[in-house]
Amino acid sequence: MRNSAVKFLKEWKPFEDFHGTMMNAIVRHFRVRHVATRHNGNQLINTTKKAEEIMGLPYTSGSEVAALWANVNTHVYLDADKIYHYWYFAFDERGDQYAVLKDDEENELVLNISI
């Protein structure tokens, strides 16, 4: 289900500025956390290169959201009973950066990862 409380941008213009800001936000978000990957165990994402290496993060824009999309093999344990998969990273209309995650039942969790 799509979270209607946050209105995401549908395109990043100029792309280079938005991309750099989002990559910095992603690195800041993960710098203090280890993420579990299905194939490579726990990883620390502390550079933009490492973020792209682990998560892929291709950019697409569409009718609902413009985002960097995470590799489905990357997930994080938020508590003992739930595993959330990073789904995509997007900007809202104010310019705040968000990580959108889903659990195995397709429930969405939206995290503001802005400074």
Tracing tokens 């991309």 back to the chain, one arrives at: 19
Two tokens at 66?
A: 């413009």
pLDDT of residue 106: 87
Q: What is the pLDDT of residues 68-99, one digit of tens each?
A: 998 766 666 555 567 788 899 999 999 999 99
Q: Kindly tell me if the per-residue pLDDT of 112 is higher than 90.
A: yes
pLDDT of residue 1: 41
Q: Could you tell me which residues are beta bridge partners of residue 98?
A: 90, 112
What's the distance, CA 35 to chain centroid? Answer: 12
Q: Is the torsion defined by CA of 2, 109, 106, 43 positive or negative?
A: positive
Exposed/middle/buried for residue 5 (C-beta within 10 Å: 0-12, 13-18, 19+): exposed
Phi, psi for 74 (deg, rounded to 5): -105, 125
> Which residue, among 104, 101, 113, 72, has the nearest Cα to 3 in the 3D structure?
101
pLDDT of residue 84: 80
CA separation (Å) from 88 to 7, 80? Answer: 14, 23
Q: Kindly tell me if the per-residue pLDDT of 16 is higher than 90.
A: yes
